[in-house]
Chain A
Amino acid sequence: NAGVTQTPKFQVLKTGQSMTLQCAQDMNHNSMYWYRQDPGMGLRLIYYSASEGTTDKGEVPNGYNVSRLNKREFSLRLESAAPSQTSVYFCASSGSGQGALQPQHFGDGTRLSIL
């Protein structure tokens, strides 16, 4: 049972470089989410996708773009990385029906450092 799989696990970028973080889930969930986790800030929602073909901004979307490629995959792109985007990024998914009222299942995270 893979659940939610994120790649890569670690990445170091230079300021201005671009990168796509990949996320896939094998639980047939409709909803998928991207969060960032920073010390003292908890988890903050970047973008979410309530269903295939839809995406919506969360609390901190600036500097990011997302693509819901299909029901399984939800990618997060940094077009021009900035040091302020150094963080741990978590992808999550939740079941269908009542959408966000279902518990979320998380990936292991991607630790991203931007120099």
Chain B
Amino acid sequence: AQRVTQPEKLLSVFKGAPVELKCNYSYSGSPELFWYVQYSRQRLQLLLRHISRESIKGFTADLNKGETSFHLKKPFAQEEDSAMYYCAPTTYSTLTFGKGTMLLVSP
């Protein structure tokens, strides 16, 4: 069965600290990897996708096929990064969301 695990429900850091939100997946085939973000009182939106190799709002994500992980990283967290983050491996048939990690960045 397709499975995605985000082991931390809550990650609390201080402004300026590095951040790593973990995502591990178990999928048949080679899924495309996405990270979605939901800021307070806003709709869920795409943050970044592996295939684009982009850095969005200072975030990057490294795909490790050997470990089947797609961790989201940012070297210096900002208060406006506080949000719920979802990892979402995707195949042609559907998309599975992790349970999400709430990131809280304190001043």
Contact = CB atoms under 8 A, between A and B. Distances in A.
A103 B6 CA distance: 20
A101 B9 contact: no
A90 interface: yes
Interface residues of A, number: 25
B35 to A, nearest CB: 10
Contacts of B9: 40
Which 7 A-B residue pairs are closest in the complex by CB-CB distance?
A42-B99, A43-B97, A103-B46, A106-B44, A42-B97, A106-B43, A42-B100
A99 interface: yes
Given A45-B94, A100-B91, A100-B94, A40 B43 contact: no
Contact of B86 (A42, A59, A92): A42
Interface in B53-98: 86, 90-98
Contacts of B98: 42
Contacts of A43: 44, 86, 97
Interface residues of B, number: 22
Given A58-B94, A98-B92, A101-B90, A40 B99 contact: yes
B61 to A, nearest CB: 14
B106 interface: no
Q: Is the interface of B mostly helix, strand, loop or mixed?
A: loop
Nearest to B45: A106
Nearest to A35: B97
A40 B6 CA distance: 11
Given A42-B86, A42-B97, A43-B86, A99 B43 contact: no
Contact of A103 (B34, B86, B99, B100): B34
A104 interface: yes
A108 B92 contact: no
A42 B102 CA distance: 11
29 contacts: A4-B43, A33-B95, A35-B97, A40-B9, A42-B6, A42-B100, A43-B86, A44-B97, A45-B96, A48-B94, A59-B96, A90-B44, A92-B44, A98-B92, A99-B92, A100-B90, A100-B92, A101-B32, A101-B90, A101-B91, A103-B34, A103-B46, A104-B36, A104-B95, A105-B45, A106-B43, A106-B44, A108-B43, A109-B43
